[in-house]
């Protein structure tokens, strides 16, 4: 799993509350990504980072923000959680010459 | 707009037989294709890939075929084993093991029947 740790593994939160998911990697990979997995949609890219403080939007970025203050940590924040953000969230990393490696996911339920 | 499509949500195959998983894409800019395998409660793991300059890539029991003119790729697993039961995602990219923004299909759940 390329030394990727996602926390928490499970979270239940209420609509309207802010939520932050953490991804920590020990591989010193430059690139980091957040995907969400939903039935009927596969995995969709939310945001990605190509270095410390360098981030960009993916195809489903509305309602999400990210931060990367250190190479090893990539945070995903839901500003005000909605039921449509109930999903499984996967962090992934890659270094030059290697395919994308994924963490084991965070299951988020917004009630 | 689903740029990568896996039209079979599920597939059941007898142990020892060949499993064939299919994937179609619409974006002609894709030049690198990957298959990922996912077990429950785990993240997807890389299985095999193919560049658009090739039409076949083989790794042990796994072979990926690419037909660029038809915008179609397939994953063959032979012989199929019980441990192959998982969800398989097809993915495509315009980058090659660099800044990969992968576009994924919706997945096919493969069940190997003992």
Tell me the pLDDT tens digit for each residue of B83-97: 999 999 999 998 665
Q: How far apart are CA B96 and CA B92, in angstroms?
A: 10
Q: Does position A85 have pLDDT exceeding 70, yes or no? A: yes
Contact B43 A97 (CB under 8 A): no
Tens of pLDDT along A20-76? 999 999 999 999 999 999 988 999 999 999 999 999 999 999 999 999 999 999 999
Q: Does position B15 have pLDDT exceeding 80, yes or no? A: yes
Spatial CA neighbour of B81 closest among B37, B49, B114, B105? B114
Q: Does position B98 have pLDDT exceeding 90, yes or no? A: no
Residue-averaged pLDDT of chain B: 94
Spatial CA neighbour of A26 closest among A111, A110, A103, A107? A103
Provide the pLDDT confidence category of residue A99 given band limits of 50, 70 and 90. Answer: confident
CA-nearest residue to B105 within chain A is: A42
On chain B, the residues whose CB falls within 8 A of the CB of A31 are 98-100
Q: Chain B residues contacting A, CB < 8 Å? A: 4, 6, 34, 36, 41-46, 49, 89, 91, 97-107
Spatial CA neighbour of B64 closest among A99, B12, B52, B10? B52
pLDDT at position B99: 61
Cα A82–Cα A89–Cα A76 angle in degrees, nearest 5 = 70
CA-nearest residue to A31 within chain B is: B99
Cis ω before B6 (30° cut-off from 0): no
């Amino acid at each position: 799993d390329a030394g990727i740790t996602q926390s928490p593994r499970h979270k239940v939160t209420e609509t309207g509350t802010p939520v932050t998911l953490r991804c920590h990697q020990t591989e010193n990979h430059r690139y980091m990504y957040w995907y969400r997995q939903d039935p009927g949609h596969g995995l969709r890219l939310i945001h990605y980072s190509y270095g410390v403080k360098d981030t960009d939007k993916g195809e489903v970025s509305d309602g999400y923000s990210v931060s990367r203050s250190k190479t090893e940590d990539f945070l995903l924040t839901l500003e005000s959680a909605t039921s449509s953000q109930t999903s499984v969230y996967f962090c992934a990393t890659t270094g030059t010459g290697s395919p994308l490696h994924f963490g084991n996911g965070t299951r988020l339920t917004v009630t | 707009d689903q740029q990568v499509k896996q039209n079979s949500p599920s597939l059941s195959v007898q142990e020892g037989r060949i499993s064939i998983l299919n994937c179609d894409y619409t974006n002609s800019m894709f030049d690198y294709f990957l298959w990922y395998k996912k077990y429950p409660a785990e993240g997807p793991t890389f299985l095999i890939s193919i560049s658009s300059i090739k039409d076949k890539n083989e790794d042990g029991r796994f072979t990926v075929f690419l037909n660029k003119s038809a915008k179609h790729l397939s994953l063959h697993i032979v012989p199929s084993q019980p441990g192959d039961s998982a969800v398989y995602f097809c993915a495509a990219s315009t980058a090659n093991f660099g800044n990969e923004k992968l576009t994924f299909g919706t997945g096919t759940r493969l069940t190997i029947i003992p």
